[in-house]
């Protein structure tokens, strides 16, 4: 939304699906007008949005699709025919973030753009380097968005380990979900497709018919760093307030904001820690 606003385009926010937390296809359909230029699905928490439906809508309405892949790098997306592709190469372009907390993090700030379109790749390579295609010839207005060499060196070492990092997250998620299976107050994350279709940037529960905030405080008191992603929906953020937004258009989002709770998720959680976390959740909810 930030980028859309900085480009002086108009962001149009839509609701999400309750089961995946990802952009709702029905809500996209309602929001498309002749002025619509692009769809920006966020692959939230590590699982792809419904890209097959999104690409079909984009084709029908002649729209670009830019995937926000900051949370799902390395995840698979499975088409209806069973074929698989890595998330981030489905739309016309995708971005990712190498912020240290992401699944592939550097030691500071960094990011990357993906595209299969050679002409677009050329354009973007100039824009990120002050609009230069030939040194000291500024053909377009660019920005300074180069990946610095120190971050690149860190990423060079870590990139071959991405799948093993994601595997560690998936293993932790499986242990969490096994501990919470069939609990009346907990909805565990739904994985649509094979194991690699969710790389668990966050492991986010929905807490139903229980005091989510008190549970979170209970966990924090025990030294478990849990968090609410995200506490304030985008349509309620001061920077993006807009009289076009109608609360009735965001029933799922507004409900999820009250229910979500993300447990610790990284590559170094051991069984003892996982057990302590799941026991602490269950002792509060029993």
- The nearer residue to ligand PLP, 62 or 149, going by C-beta atoms, is 149
- The nearer residue to ligand PLP, 147 or 179, going by C-beta atoms, is 147
User: From the CB of 203, what's the least distance to ligand PLP, in Å?
Assistant: 15
User: From the CB of 108, what's the least distance to ligand PLP, in Å?
Assistant: 10
Please list, in sequence order, all residues whose beta carbon lies within 8 angstroms of the beta carbon of residue 34, skipping any fewer than 6 positions away. none
- The nearer residue to ligand PLP, 50 or 68, going by C-beta atoms, is 68
User: From the CB of 178, what's the least distance to ligand PLP, in Å?
Assistant: 27
User: From the CB of 99, what's the least distance to ligand PLP, in Å?
Assistant: 4
**Which residues form the interface with ligand PLP (CB under 6 A)?**
42, 68, 70-71, 97, 99, 109, 111
Angle at 27 between CA 23 and CA 32, to 5 degrees: 110
User: From the CB of 14, what's the least distance to ligand PLP, in Å?
Assistant: 15
Alpha-carbon gap, residue 214 to 267, rounded angstroms: 27
- The nearer residue to ligand PLP, 12 or 274, going by C-beta atoms, is 12
- The nearer residue to ligand PLP, 72 or 219, going by C-beta atoms, is 72
């Amino acid at each position: 939304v930030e980028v859309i606003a900085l480009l002086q385009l108009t962001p149009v926010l839509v609701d999400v699906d309750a089961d995946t937390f990802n952009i709702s296809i029905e809500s996209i359909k309602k929001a498309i007008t002749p002025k619509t230029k692009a769809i920006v699905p966020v692959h939230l928490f590590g699982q792809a949005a419904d890209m097959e439906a999104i690409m079909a809508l984009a084709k029908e309405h002649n729209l670009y699709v830019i995937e926000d892949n900051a949370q799902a790098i390395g995840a698979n997306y499975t088409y209806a025919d069973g074929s698989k592709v890595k998330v981030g190469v489905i739309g016309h372009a995708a971005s990712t973030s190498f912020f240290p907390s992401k699944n592939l993090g550097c030691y500071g700030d960094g990011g990357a753009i993906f595209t299969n379109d050679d002409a677009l790749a050329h354009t973007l390579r100039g824009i990120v380097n002050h609009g230069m295609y030939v040194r000291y010839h500024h053909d377009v207005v660019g920005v300074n968005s180069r990946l610095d060499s120190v971050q690149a060196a860190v990423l060079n070492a870590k990139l071959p380990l991405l799948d093993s990092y994601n595997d560690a997250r998936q293993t932790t998620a499986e242990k969490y979900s096994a501990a919470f299976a069939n609990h009346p107050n907990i909805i565990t994350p739904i994985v649509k497709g094979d194991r690699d279709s969710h790389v668990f940037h966050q492991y986010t529960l929905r807490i139903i018919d229980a005091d989510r905030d008190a549970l979170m405080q209970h966990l924090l008191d025990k030294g478990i760093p849990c968090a609410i992603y995200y506490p304030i929906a985008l349509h309620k953020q001061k920077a993006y307030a807009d009289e076009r937004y109608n609360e009735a258009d965001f029933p799922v989002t507004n409900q999820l904001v009250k229910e979500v709770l993300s447990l610790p998720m990284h590559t170094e959680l051991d069984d003892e820690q996982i057990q302590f976390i799941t026991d602490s959740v269950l002792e509060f909810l029993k």
